[in-house]
Amino acid sequence: MLKNICAGLVGAALLTSGISSYVAAEQADHVPTFADMSVQIKEPTMEEKAAAIAAGQAQVAAQQPKAEPEEKAAQPAPAPAAENKQEKPAPVETEKQSQERKISINLAARSLALFEGNKKIRLYPIGPGKASTPTPVGYYKIESKDYNPTWTDPATGRSIPSGPDCPLGYRWMQIRGNYGIHGTNRPNSIGHYVSNGCIRLHEKDIEALFDLVKIGTPVEITYNRVVVEKLDDNTVVYYIYPDGYGWQNLNVEDVNKWLAGYGVANFVSNEDIEAKINASDGEPTYVAKVYPLYVNGEKMKNKAVEQDGVMYLPAIDLADAAHVNLGWDAAAQKLISTLGTAPGVDKKDVLYCKAADAKTLFKLGGTLDNNNYVMKFVPVETQETVTTKTDEKIDATQKIDHSAEQAEAKNDAKADVKKESKAEVKGESKQAKEEKTK
């Protein structure tokens, strides 16, 4: 009996020879994906089932247990004439490990990312579905993994075994029905909307990914023209991609909402966002480094933002935390607190001060600590000091004893009196001699 099913149902396909045959729906001038194809599968007889099991070449779908059998080790790309071999699912005990990794596909960005937890460990360019046959968005999982698929042209019945002429490449991973992730013999199609719904990868990329994921690995497919990321050094970068499917119109407010989630919306002008939407070139724009902000152990609503080497702090947050009244002189661009005055910056109606001015305005000092910006009150100096001409500091509150200076002055005065007396006596003697002479 012959049964027609979708091309993606690879896991159910079984021929007694152990070779899965994929029948394309289009002729030779078009190289199809799995979504272009249908499959004819011959239901094996009981004798054929017994022979296949005894030979260890295949598993019969109807006899498979619910628990997934052990997954075969990945194999290198074979010669073109090599037989197809279907990888068996991973054992149940490894399912938890497979869930630690996740495939995330962004159709607008035409990229596939592999995450381990929250960390992106691989990023590959892809060729998703055409606008007329788009790849469906949603949440799926790897349902089967196959080596060396063979493609059969339905118009001629001619089969192309796994190899350089096979349009499916050397690896196939089913994600739902007739949709899957696979290789291609048309590497120039990667980066374009080209398939009938499947995800194409460069051969080296699909073989690497094939070895990194297991059956059961989650697959998330989205269509997001705006992508915002925080790099390992805390730099926030954003991208805007073209609307390949015509599904997502963007405006400045939409992009601001994405940037606000990372604490940098106030550090990108609306004019710059508008220009980036118009370009939609998918190129990165680096905004600033962002750090959670703490004052005396309390987390602030807004973040500390370092842009162009300057650390900016949300002034209102700091004023509230320091219990200090704060005013704003818009004309002079000055922040005025009850403790001091310093330059400020108005970024989309949010006031910021520079970290260097926080001590003047709020008596707060800060430093980076484990990717957080931590601020504490700066101790106030209680003892005033004065500087002498020799830069010697003395205690201004200490009473100075002037008795020695006063005694010295008295001695000097007495000496002056004695000198004057002697001068007068000498003068009188001279006058007496002159009178005698007369």
3-state SS, one letter per residue, for 219-237: EEEECCCEEEEECCCCEEE
Residue 72 and residue 183 in one domain = yes
Residue 26 and residue 58 in one domain = yes
Q: Looking at residue 159, what is its pLDDT?
A: 86
Residue 268 and residue 298 in one domain = no
Q: Domain for residue 428, yes or no?
A: no
Give first-to-last CA distance, the chain, whole Å.
Answer: 171
Catalytic position from the list 166, 198, 202, 353: 198
Name the residue among 180, 179, 201, 182 with its Cα closest to residue 192.
Answer: 201
Q: Which residues of 318-338 are buried (b: 16+ CB within 10 A; e: fewer)?
A: bbbbbebebeeeeeeeebbbe
For the entire predicted model, the pTM comes to 0.65
Bridge partners, 173 (sequence order): 145, 181
- What one-letter code names the amino acid at 185? N
Name the residue among 146, 142, 108 with its Cα closest to residue 126.
Answer: 108
Residue 281 and residue 173 in one domain = no
Q: Domain for residue 17, yes or no?
A: yes
403 secondary structure, DSSP code: H
- What one-letter code names the amino acid at 434? E
Residue 285 and residue 349 in one domain = no
Residue 210 and residue 280 in one domain = no
Name the domain count of the chain: 3
pLDDT, tens digit only, all 438 positions of the chain:
322 223 333 333 322 233 333 333 333 333 333 333 332 333 344 554 444 344 443 333 333 333 323 333 333 343 333 334 454 554 544 445 545 899 999 999 999 999 999 899 999 999 999 999 999 999 999 999 999 887 666 578 888 888 888 878 899 999 998 899 999 999 999 999 999 899 999 999 999 999 999 999 999 999 999 999 999 999 999 999 999 999 999 999 999 999 999 999 999 999 999 999 999 999 999 999 999 999 999 999 999 999 999 999 999 999 999 999 999 999 999 999 999 999 999 999 999 999 999 999 999 999 999 999 999 998 765 444 444 343 444 343 344 344 555 555 556 555 555 555 555 545 555 555 555 554
Residue 278 and residue 298 in one domain = no
Q: Domain for residue 35, yes or no?
A: yes
What CATH number is given to the structural domain containing 70?
Answer: 2.40.440.10
Whole-angstrom distance, CA of residue 341 vs CA of residue 334: 7
Chain-centre distance of CA 209, in angstroms?
21
Residue 285 and residue 296 in one domain = no
Q: Domain for residue 37, yes or no?
A: yes
Residue 126 and residue 49 in one domain = yes
Residue 81 and residue 185 in one domain = yes
Residue 283 and residue 299 in one domain = no
433 secondary structure, DSSP code: H
Strands 179-182, 171-176: pairing is antiparallel
Q: Domain for residue 421, yes or no?
A: no
Whole-angstrom distance, CA of residue 53 vs CA of residue 101: 33
Domain span holding position 108: 2-222
Catalytic position from the list 182, 192, 202, 353: 182
Task: Check if 182 is active-site.
Answer: yes
Q: Domain for residue 303, yes or no?
A: yes
CA quadruple 6, 12, 13, 15: dihedral sign: negative
Strand ranges in 88-208 using DSSP code E only, listed in sequence order: 101-106, 111-116, 119-125, 138-141, 144-147, 150-152, 159-160, 171-176, 179-182, 199-200
Q: Domain for residue 105, yes or no?
A: yes
Q: Domain for residue 436, yes or no?
A: no
Whole-angstrom distance, CA of residue 124 vs CA of residue 348: 37
Strands 218-222, 101-106: pairing is parallel
Q: Looking at residue 329, what is its pLDDT?
A: 96
Whole-angstrom distance, CA of residue 133 vs CA of residue 37: 13
For 375, what's the count of Cα atoms within 13 Å in the CB-facing half-sphere?
A: 30
Residue for token pair 């990914």: 209
Task: Check if 6 is active-site.
Answer: no
Q: Looking at residue 389, what is its pLDDT?
A: 40
Q: Looking at residue 412, what is its pLDDT?
A: 59
φ/ψ of residue 119, rounded to 5:
-100, 130
Residue 152 and residue 199 in one domain = yes
